[in-house]
Amino acid sequence: MIADAGRVVSQATSLGLPVFLMAHAPADPGESSKDPVAAAHAARAAAELGASIVQTNFAGAPDGLREIAHSCPVPLVVGGGPKGSTEDAYLDALREVMRSGAAGICVGRRVFQALDPPAMAQRIADVVFGSDRPLMIEAAR
């Protein structure tokens, strides 16, 4: 997979195209990684291959995601979100993702399976881009 990703990055770069790589750390089938070291390693490897933006499947604590985001030299997005949670719980989790330093989220089923997809898309956009955007609070280190 790494060799394939390298070839794709090389070809895309030669055409001036950005590359989005999904760098998912190992996890049990159907689960997301909760190991920040493995997820940071995967994200960093994708960035070093030349990805313009990297997606992680990290589902651990916000401090772990913060470590991953800070160690990745390109924008990091988080895939999915908690399955089966309410829309409000999902948006609360998304706020934590954004506070942790992620550039955004990759979302699909949360929108297209919502009772009101346009309204859910707007709520997500408000958290990521707009009026509901949480302030990033980080201690200087």
Instruction: Kindly state the tokens that stand for 116.
Output: 């009101």
Q: What is the pLDDT of residue 22?
A: 93
Looking at residue 29, its pLDDT comes to 86
10-residue averages of pLDDT along the chain (141 residues) = 90 95 88 91 95 92 93 93 80 92 91 92 91 48 32
Q: Which residues of 108-136 are buried (b: 16+ CB within 10 A; e: fewer)?
A: eebbeebeeeeebeebbeebbeeeeeeee
- Which domains, and CATH codes, for the chain? 2-128 (3.20.20.70)
The pLDDT value given to residue 33:
87
- Residue 141, pLDDT score: 32
Model-level pTM? 0.82
